[in-house]
């Protein structure tokens, strides 16, 4: 218990120190202190920004994406564009243990409709958990204003769920800052963002939202679920 308190205080102090730092400085500090680190790329607007910054700080950085086999075709196209633009050779595709057919056979067809929590565990949380075992920490593109569940996220924090460092260099950024960065650098992004999809996940669990709606309300609509379980 005492060890956990010490670890938590270390991250609180670091988070305070870097609260107002720019993402590149946060990343430099993270790579200096906590290698091996890996970046979880979901190909959303925040993640293409973070990928660009990570690439400038550490061109050989480790990164991965959780391929649930259920992405929109536009997401796979964006992945290929990013691989080409940044010449990514350390982007690991992390797959679920079960194919969609095996999952349907064992747990029922269209599990995302009946029990999305179980589907997210099988296709996202469990593969992430296994993959992160090789690292000391992970880097994510979450922002505080994205959802109440993310409002208290810190630049550096201890991830109790995965028992490792979690680095969130964009926590303080607004949506406008993200899009300004994308436009300035002409970074490829998912065209679905221009069609009413502010947050893009698996195709069966993502719908477009109307102007003024909560940006994450298009995820798991009708299920009262707002997170897949990767972020507390």
We find the least distance from the C-beta atom of residue 181 to ligand SF4, in angstroms, to be 26
One DSSP character per residue, 71-140 reads --HHHHHHHHHHHHHHT-S-EEEE--SS-HHHHHHHH-TTHHHH-HHHHHIIIIIHHHHHHHTT-SEEE-
- Please name every residue paired with 66 in a beta bridge, in sequence order, or none if there are none: 94
Take residue 25 and report the two structure tokens written for it. Answer: 């400085």
For the CB of residue 214, give the shortest distance to ligand SF4 in the complex, in Å: 17
Residue 64's beta-bridge partner residues?
Answer: 40, 92
CB of 68 or CB of 168, closer to ligand SF4? 68
Dist. CA 45–CA 177, nearest whole Å: 11
Q: Report the distance separating Cα 125 and Cα 74, nearest Å.
A: 23
Give me the residues that bind ligand SF4 (CB under 6 A), please. 68, 70, 112, 116, 119-120, 123-124, 201-202, 204-205, 228
Task: Identify which of residues 7 and 70 has a Cβ nearer to ligand SF4 in the complex.
Answer: 70
Q: Which is nearer to ligand SF4, 76 or 174 (CB)?
A: 76
Nearer to ligand SF4, 117 or 214 (CB): 117
C-beta of 68 vs 75, nearer to ligand SF4: 68
Residues involved in catalysis? 228
Residue pair 156/18 in contact by the 8 Å Cβ criterion: yes
Nearest distance from residue 32's CB to ligand SF4, in Å? 34
Q: How far apart are the first and last CA of the chain?
A: 21
Q: How far is the CB of 88 from ligand SF4 (least distance, A)?
A: 23
Print burial letters for 18-48: b (CB count within 10 Å at least 16), e (below 16).
beeeebeebbebbbeebeebbbbbbbbbbbb
């Amino acid at each position: 218990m005492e060890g956990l308190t010490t670890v938590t205080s270390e991250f609180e102090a670091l988070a305070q120190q870097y609260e107002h730092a720019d993402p590149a400085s946060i990343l430099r500090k993270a790579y200096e202190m906590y290698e091996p680190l890996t970046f979880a790329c979901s190909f959303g607007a925040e993640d293409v920004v973070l990928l660009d910054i990570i690439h400038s700080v550490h061109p050989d950085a480790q990164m991965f994406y959780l391929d649930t086999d259920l992405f929109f075709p536009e997401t796979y196209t964006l992945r290929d564009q990013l691989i080409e633009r940044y010449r990514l050779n350390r982007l690991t595709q992390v797959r679920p243990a079960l194919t969609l057919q095996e999952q349907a056979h064992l747990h029922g067809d269209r599990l995302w409709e009946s029990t999305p929590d179980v589907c997210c565990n099988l296709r996202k949380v469990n593969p992430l958990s296994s993959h992160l075992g090789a690292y000391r920490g992970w880097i994510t593109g979450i922002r505080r204003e994205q959802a109440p569940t993310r409002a208290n996220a810190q630049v550096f924090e201890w991830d109790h769920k995965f028992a490792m460092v979690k680095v969130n260099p964009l926590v303080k950024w607004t949506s406008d800052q993200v899009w300004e960065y994308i436009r300035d650098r002409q970074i490829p992004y998912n065209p679905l963002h221009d069609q009413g999809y502010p947050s893009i996940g698996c195709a069966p669990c993502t719908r477009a939202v109307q102007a003024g709606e909560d940006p994450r309300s298009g995820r798991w609509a009708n299920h009262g679920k707002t997170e897949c379980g990767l972020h507390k």
